[in-house]
Amino acid sequence: MTELVVLADDQGKPAGTADKAKVHTADTPLHFAFSAWVRSGNKILLTRRALSKRTWPGVWTNAFCGHPGPGEATADTVIRRADFELNLDIPTPQLILPDFSYRAVDSSGIVEYEICPVYLVDLDASVAENASNGSADRLNLSPNPDEVDSYAWVDAEELITAADATPFAFSPWLVEELSHSELREALRK
């Protein structure tokens, strides 16, 4: 089945669709996406992208990202992709950076060029309590190996410090997103 992404014009309005498998090239058109962060307590979920990913394989990043399909509400896409990538049932995500967009070029030359609102998923205490010892760092996930190589629960402040000190160790969108005080503050709560 072909997965479609929604293309955007220069004013940020929908302008057709393209096959997701073919849209990411050295000349990627502007399109719609989202980026999601997952927090439980003071821990933030980082994932290492699967080594089979076309862009930024094996790079540490926020919990998950994706592309809304034609006519799909972005918040609904966040919920769908949490299940697909992490096998995680999540509450309604909170929109933190509604106007975030970025353009980045992978070392292979493939471009990401996205209007990419940023969401925060705050897992409730009942999710964390179901973990083996009740803490987020022991929350066992069952990620899709085609999407996620591995994951780690990290302290929010330590992540911010690490991204500031070693931005090359993370995805470019993670670093750009963390440059916004609204996201930093939301992660620290």
Flag whether 180 is marked binding. no
Dihedral through CA 96, CA 98, CA 102, CA 107, nearest 10?
A: 50
Flag whether 67 is marked binding. yes
Q: How far apart are CA 50 and CA 9, in angstroms?
A: 30
Flag whether 24 is marked binding. yes
The verdict on whether 65 is a catalytic residue reads yes
Place of tokens 């995805």: 171
Helices (H), 8-139: 20-23, 74-86, 125-129
Flag whether 114 is marked binding. yes
3-state secondary structure of 74: helix
The verdict on whether 185 is a catalytic residue reads no
Flag whether 112 is marked binding. yes
Q: CB–CB of 15/9 below 8 Å?
A: yes
- Catalytic residue (choose from 114, 147, 176, 177): 114
- 66: exposed, middle or buried (Cβ count in 10 Å: 0-12, 13-18, 19+): buried
Flag whether 3 is marked binding. no
Which pair of structure tokens corresponds to residue 120?
A: 């925060």
Q: CB–CB of 139/39 below 8 Å?
A: no
- Catalytic residue (choose from 65, 116, 147, 177): 65
Annotated binding site: 24, 31, 67, 85, 112, 114
Annotated binding site for Mn(2+): 24, 31, 67, 112, 114
Q: Kindly list the catalytic residues.
A: 65, 114
Annotated binding site for Mg(2+): 85
